[in-house]
Amino acid sequence: MFTLAIVGRPNVGKSTLFNRLVGRRLALVDDQPGVTRDLREGQAKLGDLNFTVIDTAGLEDATDDSLQGRMRRLTERAVDMADVCLFMIDARAGVTANDEMFADILRKRSNHVILAANKAEGSAADAGMLEAYGLGLGEPLRLSAEHGEGMSDLYSVLLPIS
C-alpha cells in the first residue's frame, strides 16, 4: 500500500484521472487534522493494485495573482504526504511556464516522480510529448485520463513501488 499524489497546474486533467482511479471509493478527508478540502483523498484501484490517491484541488478558483503561491503550497503538502508523485502536463498544450515551476519543486523535493503527459489521445499530442522530455524528469507516460488510455503503462510504473 502506497500513496500517490497527482500534481500539476489547473486544467491538465488531474481530477479526471483521480475520478477514474477512485470510481466511487472516495473518502473525503475534510475532518482529518492537517488536511483541508483543497486535497481530496480516495482509495484507488488499478488492476490488482490498491493504493491511496491524492488530488490537489482548490486551484481552480484562485485568481492569477494567488495561483502560483497556492499551487506551490498545495503541491508541497501533497508531495510530503505521498510516496510517489504523478506530475501531469497537458500534451496538447505543451510545456508551460507553470509546468516548469512544478518541475522545479518536484526535482528539489520529491521522492519519486512519474511524469505524465495527459490528453495524449491522437496526434495533436505528439509535439507536447517531445517537449515533455525537456523537463528533465525522465520519459513521459502517455495518458488519456478521459478515454482511459495509458492505464496499463501507469500500472507498469506503479507495480515496482507497490
Buried b (16+ CB within 10 A) or exposed e, 11-35: ebbbbbbbebbbeeeeeebeeeeeb
144 near ligand GDP, rule: CB under 6 A: yes
Q: Which of 15, 43, 68, 162 binds ligand GDP (CB under 6 A)?
A: 15
d(CA 38, CA 147): 26
Given phi > 0 = left and psi -120 to 50 = alpha, else beta, which region is 5?
beta
Q: Interface with Mg ion by CB under 5 A: which range of 15-23, 39-47, 92-100, 107-115?
A: 15-23
Considering the complex, state which of residue 48 and residue 152 has its C-beta at the smaller distance from ligand GDP: 152
Q: Does 15 sit near Mg ion (CB under 5 A)? A: yes
Among residues 77 and 119, whose Cβ is nearest to ligand GDP? 119
**Packing angle between helix 64-81 and helix 97-109, nearest 10 degrees?**
30
Residues in the chain: 162
In the complex, least distance from residue 5 CB atom to Mg ion, rounded to whole angstroms = 13
Which SS3 state, helix, strand or coil, does residue 160 take? coil
Question: Residue 11 annotated as binding?
Answer: yes
Q: Is 16 in the site for ligand GDP (CB under 6 A)?
A: yes
Site residues for Mg ion, 27-86, by CB under 5 A, read 57
Question: Distance of alpha carbon 50 from its chain centroid, rounded?
Answer: 17
Q: Does 145 bind ligand GDP (CB under 6 A)?
A: yes
Binding residues: 8-15, 55-59, 118-121
- List interacting residues with ligand GDP (CB under 6 A): 10-16, 60, 118-119, 121, 144-147
- List interacting residues with Mg ion (CB under 5 A): 14-15, 57
